A and B are shown apart, each in its own frame.
Chain A
Amino acid sequence: MRLSDSLRYARDAASGTPLRTGLLMLSMAIGVAAVVVLTALGDGARRYVVGEFSAIGSNLVIVLPGRSETRGFNPANLITSTPRDLTVEDAAALLRIPGVEKVTPIVIGTTEINAGGKLRESMLVGTNADFIKVRHLKLALGRFLTRDDLGHGSAEVVLGALIREELFGTENPLGKTVRIGGRRLRVVGVLTEGGQGMGMTTDELLIIPVATAQAMFNTNTLFRILIEAHSREQIGDVKARVLKLITQRHEGEEDVTVITQDAVLQTFDKILSVLTLGVAGIAAVSLAVAGILVMNVMLVSVTQRTAEIGLLKALGATAATIRNTFLLEAGLLSLLGAFAGIALGHLGAAILRHFYPAFPAYPPNWAVLAGLGTALAAGLIFGVMPARRAARLDAVQALSRR
Chain B
Amino acid sequence: MSLIELSGIERTFLLGDSEVHALRSINLSITPGEYVAVMGPSGSGKSTLLNLLGLLDRPDAGTYHLEDRDVTTLTPDEQARVRSERIGFVFQSFHLVPRLTAAANVELPLMLAGIVPAERTKRVSQALKDYGLTDRAHHRPEQLSGGQRQRVAIARATVMHPAVILADEPTGNLDRATGEDVVTLLEGLNAQGVTLIVVTHDQTLGARARRQLVMEDGAIARDSGKG
State whether A396 touches B93 (Cβ < 8 A): no
Specify which chain B residues have a CB less than 8 angstroms from the CB of A12 in the assembled complex.
99-100
Whether the pair B89, A314 counts as a contact (CB closer than 8 A) is yes
Nearest residue (CB) in B for A6 is B111
Question: A312 on the interface (CB 8 Å rule)?
Answer: yes
Q: How far is B153's CA from A314's CA once the two chains are assembled, in angstroms?
A: 12
Quick one: CB contact mask for B127-168 with A, threshold 8 Å, 1 for yes? 000000000000000000000000000001000100000000
A-contact 0/1 string along B57-85, CB 8 Å cutoff: 10000000000000000001100110111
Q: How far is the CA of A248 from the CA of B163 in the complex (A)?
A: 103
B-chain residues with CB within 8 Å of residue A5 when the two chains form the complex: 111
- Interface status of A351 (Cβ within 8 A of chain B): no
A12-B99, A396-B57, A399-B56 given as contacts; is B111 within 8 A of A313 (CB)? no
Residue interface mask A3-18, B partner, CB < 8 A = 1: 0010001001100100
Whether a CB of chain A sits under 8 angstroms from the CB of B54 is: yes
Chain A residues contacting B191 (CB-CB under 8 Å) are: none
- Please determine whether B80 and A16 come into contact, CB atoms closer than 8 angstroms: no
* A308 and B109 contacting across the interface, CB-CB below 8 Å: no
- Interface SS of A by simple majority: helix
Using known A-B contacts A2-B114, A9-B111, A396-B56, determine if residue A316 contacts B95 with beta carbons closer than 8 Å: no
Contacts of A320 in B (CB 8 A): 77
* Most B C-beta atoms less than 10 A away, residue of A5, A13, A307, A310: A5
Q: Is A141 an interface residue (CB 8 A)?
A: no
Q: Is the CB of A399 within 8 A of B111?
A: no
A285 on interface, CB distance cutoff 8 Å: no
Partner pick for B95 among A1, A319, A396, A399, CB 8 A cutoff: A399
B85 / chain A contacts, CB cutoff of 8 Å: 316
Distance, CA A9 to CA B108, complexed state (A): 10
Across the interface, which residues of B come within 8 angstroms of A308, CB to CB?
97
B177 interface contact, C-beta 8 A:
no
**What's the Cα separation between A292 and B226 when bound, in Å?**
59
Known: A319-B76, A399-B95. A314 touches B111 (CB 8 A): no
CA distance A83 to B89 in the complex (A): 98
Query: What's the least CB distance linking A395 to chain B, in Å?
Result: 4
If the complex has contacts A1-B114, A396-B56, A399-B56, are A313 and B99 also in contact, measured as CB distance less than 8 A? no
Q: Given contact pairs A2-B111, A399-B91, enumerate 11 new A-B contacts (beta carbons under 8 Å).
A: A1-B112, A2-B114, A12-B99, A313-B83, A314-B56, A314-B89, A315-B109, A315-B112, A317-B112, A319-B76, A319-B80
Q: Which residues of A contact B (CB under 8 A)?
A: 1-2, 5, 9, 12-13, 16, 307-308, 310-321, 395-396, 399, 402
Q: List 25 A–B pairs whose Cβ atoms lie within 8 Å, in order of A's numbering.
A: A1-B111, A1-B114, A2-B114, A5-B111, A12-B99, A312-B112, A313-B80, A313-B83, A314-B54, A315-B83, A315-B109, A315-B112, A316-B81, A316-B84, A316-B85, A316-B109, A316-B112, A317-B112, A318-B77, A318-B81, A319-B76, A320-B77, A396-B56, A399-B91, A402-B93
